[in-house]
Amino acid sequence: MPETIGYHWCKSAYGLWLPGDDRGHWSEAWDAQIGFIEPHALHPGDPVRKRMAAERMKHPAVRFDAAMRTAVENAISECAGDSPWRITAASIEATHTHLVITYRGLDIHRTLKWLSQCTTKAVHQQTSHLGPVWCEGSWSTYLFDDEYWLNTIRYVERHNERRGVGPRPYSFITSVWDLANSGAMK
C-alpha cells in the first residue's frame, strides 16, 4: 500500500452546495424504499432535493466576508503553529476553504473536526456572525503520489490566483520545496 503524503480538505460554508446542487454533491443519497444509495459518492443535480434541503435550513446561507475570512485565516494559522503537520496550500474563499496538509500520523478526521471547531469559534469571536459557519461534513482526499500531491497544491493555489492574492497569500503556508529540502516529505 502506498504511503500517505498528506490530505486535501475542502469545507463548504453553511447552506452552500446543498444536496441536489447542479454541480453535484457528495451527501448521502437516501431512497425511502431501499435506504442509502452509495453514501459519500458524488450524485448528480436534483432540483427537488435541492429545494427540500433549502427548506430544512434553519439559518441563512453563509458567504464569508473579509472579516470572516480573516478570522478563519487567524484560526488556521494558530492551529498550524500548534501542530506537527504543515499546510502546503490553502485558499479561503467566500463559499469554501481548501487546505493541503502534510501527513504526520495523526487522526485526520479528528484534526479536521478540530480545525472546523477552531475556525467557527474564531468567526463567532471576531465578527458579528453568530449562526452556523460550516456545512455538515467535509470532503477530504488522501494523497499518496508526489505528482498528485503537487497537482493538488497547484489546484488550490489557482483559487488564490483567481482572487488576485497570489498563490500563497497566508503566512502559515509551508513551501513544499522547503519540506522536500528538509526531508520532511519522506
Tens of pLDDT, residue by residue over 105-125, are 888 889 999 999 999 999 999
Residue 186 pLDDT: 47
**d(C-alpha 184, C-alpha 186), whole Å:** 6
CA-angle at 58, arms to 52 and 61, nearest 5°: 80
Residue 134 pLDDT: 93
Residue 14 pLDDT: 87
**d(C-alpha 183, C-alpha 111), whole Å:** 23
More confident residue, 141 or 164: 164
Q: Look up the pTM and report it.
A: 0.81
pLDDT tens profile 17-74: 777 666 666 555 555 554 545 555 556 677 787 788 788 888 888 999 999 999 999 9
Residue 38 pLDDT: 52
The residue behind cell 480573516 is: 70
* pLDDT over threshold 70, residue 183: no
Residue 90 pLDDT: 97
More confident residue, 18 or 10: 10
Q: What is the helix (H) or strand (E) element at residue 92, kind and residue range?
A: strand 87-92
DSSP three-state, residue 25? strand
Residue 1 pLDDT: 60
CA-angle at 149, arms to 20 and 38, nearest 5°: 30
